[in-house]
């Protein structure tokens, strides 16, 4: 289905997915503004094959061809309800978790599903958790009392 330029611009303004908006902008430039696809790709800082791929999909499928297709892949082993429970339990504890503790929690909640520790790192990152890294403690720092005494005894000099 062919769209007029004004209809495409209206759809462009309503679209929330930035990647689809970028593809729509490509179509507007090439189809309605008669810009060569290579020049339009350069203006969008994209490759020429990228532009040709999305123009072909637009010609074959229309606007729906510019949208992302569902990706195939292996479904997750843990059901989403169990993942929700695990994430809530992880978020409730403020002092942090070790990889082994997270693995034990996943095994307990999921009924025996085990993951390698590197995959647990990936899952934690995907779920929005960050790795806590301890801060370096300086052994030779002065105590609070010594710092306060130094502040009181120090003379203040002003430069004019």
Mean pLDDT of successive 10-residue segments in the chain (160 residues)? 82 90 94 93 95 94 91 86 91 83 91 90 88 72 79 59
pLDDT of 143 reads 80
Interacting residues of 55 by C-beta distance below 8 A, sequence separation 6+ = 26, 27, 30, 31, 37
29 contacts 21 by C-beta, under 8 angstroms: no
Burial class (CB in 10 A: 0-12, 13-18, 19+), 55: buried
Interacting residues of 116 by C-beta distance below 8 A, sequence separation 6+ = none
Distance of CA 35 to CAs 12, 39, 51, Å?
18, 7, 12
Q: Name the pTM for this structure.
A: 0.51
Nearest-angstrom CA–CA distance, 101 and 132: 14
pLDDT of 130 reads 82
């Amino acid at each position: 289905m062919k769209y007029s330029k004004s209809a495409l611009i209206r759809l462009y303004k309503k679209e929330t997915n930035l990647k689809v908006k970028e593809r729509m902008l490509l179509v507007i430039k090439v189809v309605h503004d008669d810009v060569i696809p290579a020049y339009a790709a350069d203006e969008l800082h994209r490759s020429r094959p990228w532009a040709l791929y999305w123009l072909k999909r637009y010609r074959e499928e229309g606007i729906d061809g510019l949208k992302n297709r569902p990706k195939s892949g292996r479904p997750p082993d843990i059901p989403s309800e169990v993942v929700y429970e695990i994430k809530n339990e992880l978020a409730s504890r403020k002092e942090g978790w070790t990889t082994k503790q997270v693995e034990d929690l996943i095994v307990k909640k999921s009924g025996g599903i085990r993951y390698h520790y590197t995959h647990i790192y990936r899952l934690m990152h995907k779920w929005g958790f960050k790795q806590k890294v301890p801060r370096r403690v300086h052994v030779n720092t002065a105590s609070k009392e010594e710092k306060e005494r130094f502040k009181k005894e120090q003379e203040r000099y002003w430069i004019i």
